[in-house]
Copies of this chain bind each other. A is one copy, B any other.
Amino acid sequence: MQPRVLAIVGVGLIGGSVGLAVRRNGGVRVLGVDCDTTALSRAKQRGIVDEACADLETAAAVADLVLFCTPVDRTVQQVLTAAAKCRAGTILSDVGSTKAAIQRSLHGRLPSRVAFVGGHPLAGSEKQGSESARPDLFRDRVVILTPTADSDAEAVERVSSFWQSIGARVQCMTPEAHDCAVALTSHLPHLVASALASLLPPELAELTAGGFHDTTRVAAGDPQLWSAILDANREEILSVLAPFEHRLRDFRAALDAGDREAVRSLLAAGRDRRSAIRPTA
């Protein structure tokens, strides 16, 4: 079920970690594609890929799985470019943080001899680049696949096996259910962390501790990458921003009134939901 030739398009943190994990397992020829040729040759030197390919179409023509680990606003164009050169039976998949917009854009535009399966590993870091890549980044992490009614069942199964082979647990859902879930579990936290971090005057940086550091960690992520994600999922994000703002108003009202029991009750609701999350290693 494993691909013989895997092309990784975009050898940053995610693509690089896929490369390290696959090469540790062995048995798969890993091609790296990246428009940043310096990043690409570094990835080759570090053993993240077997071969560096400057050209997407060349890699697409020989791969049987092409995995797009590119910013979400570039995925559609790159998938279309690659698909035109793929041999029959090639599977294309991605790791983008939003799914519905990409899959709607691709709908009806791919040659029938290839299959596209949307995917999103729930793993990452505020760090960027293949120098932060780790072969165990996906171990015990959830990878969401988002097949649609017209998805090829065998292709979905093969992409699922691929992720499982590098330690991930796979869940399938619709692209829309995915985008709705991650708006709350990932995109809103990013926006909130960024808003909080932006309020810190430089002279108070010395007076921050673990609470501030953790609450704002993701705000160190790449603004370019994240503005594309937030923009692609903006309707779902606006839908979860509203109840968040409402909850802040509840806190404001309780503090304004000096109603400590109301404050305690709001904090208890947060504590209960937070404590329901299974601790990760």
Least CB distance from A250 to B in Å reads: 8
Minimum-distance CB pairs A-B, first 5: A194-B270, A227-B264, A223-B267, A122-B209, A197-B274
Q: A144-B207, A223-B264, A227-B263 are in contact. List 8 more A-B contacts (CB 8 A).
A: A123-B209, A189-B211, A194-B270, A198-B247, A199-B273, A205-B273, A227-B267, A238-B252
Alpha-carbon gap, A280 to B206, bound state (A): 11
**Consensus secondary structure, chain A interface:** helix
Within 8 A of B (CB), among A201-244: 202, 204-224, 226-228, 230-231, 234, 237-238, 240-241, 243-244
Identical copies in the complex: 2
Is residue A278 within 8 Å, beta carbon to beta carbon, of the partner chain?
Answer: yes
- The residue from B209, B245, B273 contacting A141, defined by CB atoms under 8 A apart: B209
Is residue A84 within 8 Å, beta carbon to beta carbon, of the partner chain?
Answer: no
Pairwise interchain contact B268-A223, C-beta atoms closer than 8 A: yes
Alpha-carbon gap, A40 to B114, bound state (A): 67
Is residue A125 within 8 Å, beta carbon to beta carbon, of the partner chain?
Answer: yes
Alpha-carbon gap, A252 to B244, bound state (A): 12
Given A197-B273, A271-B223: A263 touches B230 (CB 8 Å cut-off) = yes
Q: Mark A156-200, 1 if CB is under 8 A from B, else 0.
A: 000000000000000100000000011011101111111111111
